[in-house]
Amino acid sequence: MSAPFGRRDLELAATRRVGAYWLLSAVDGSGVVPVPGQFYMLSATRRWGGGDDERPFVARACSVLRAEGAELQFLLEIVGPGTARLCELRAGEGLSVVGPLGRGFRAPAADGRTLLVGGGIGIAPLAILQDAIRAESRDHSVLLGFRDAAHAEAAGLLPGAVVATDDGSVGYHGLVTELLQGELDHHPIATVYACGPPAMLEAVRALCEEHATPAQLALESGMACGFGACFGCVVPTRGGGYARVCVDGPVLDADRLASALAPEAA
């Protein structure tokens, strides 16, 4: 189902801290149900900018964490003034959204082994995907990586997750891709669904290529428009050319990509 054209204003139902992150819940009466992996462009309806005489902030692209009835949930981390403004919103205040946008995950095969691999704020689209998988009682495993214990509190949003932390304060001491390598070394027949920072996704892409394991990657990228007009979120594809994360993705098959890194970082 297509998203309604243009921006619409929602009312925040609740906000709460989840370790180092903020969880925002808003009521959306549009009737559009997002596909796991899709995203919305978010902005505050009031005071969305540095000051009365300054230009407004660019809307922030955020994956859907969960969609329960008419309620949408988003997981955010404060990394700058725009996300700080979103995270200071409280119940009853307004949240402007455009979406759902982009291409989401394709459902896993009913009889296949499924691995969900997330890093940091990239766990968000895996939560709504896990909800869909659990609703059909499909077997799956969840591997999540975080910087430290404060960030790892968000692992509780995905039941049964195995956790890795960079500093060893929770779970496995190391990278989530090290957990994935162990899984694929022993059981390469699987489908991997992953989201996280670009360097993590590039490591996932390379591991899955090495093991001939199919993977769908939900790419993280800064987006100015969300509609494919600005070409600010491209990634290189095999055989030359580029894919726009906002319209060709954010979910792309790993074997379509030359790299999960933006051109300047590849």
Give me the pLDDT at residue 231, please: 60
Q: What is the DSSP string of 54-109?
A: SPBPPPEEEE--EEETTEEEEEE---SHHHHHHHT--TTSEEEEEEEESB-PPPPP
Structure tokens at 114: 């499924």
pLDDT at 3: 62
pTM of the model: 0.91
Model confidence over 98-137: pLDDT tens digits? 999 999 999 887 777 899 999 999 999 999 999 999 988 7
Indicate the SS3 state at residue 145.
strand
The predicted pLDDT at position 247 comes to 80
Residues of the chain with pLDDT below 70 are 1-5, 50-55, 221-233, 262-266
Q: Give residues with Cβ within 8 angstroms of 169, minimum separation 6.
A: 148, 149, 152
pLDDT of residue 48: 86
User: Distances from the Cα of 119 to the Cαs of 185, 197, 225, 240, in angstroms?
Assistant: 20, 7, 24, 28
The count of residues in the chain is: 266
Spatial contact of 31 and 92, defined as CB atoms under 8 Å apart = no
Q: Which residues pair with 242 in a beta bridge?
A: 236
Q: What is the pLDDT of residue 232?
A: 66
Q: How far is the C-alpha of 103 from the C-alpha of 115, rounded, in Å? A: 20
pLDDT at position 113: 86
The whole-number pLDDT of residue 143 equals 98
Walk me through the domains of the chain, giving residue ranges and CATH numbers: 8-101 (2.40.30.10), 114-256 (3.40.50.80)
CB 102 within 8 A of CB 249: yes
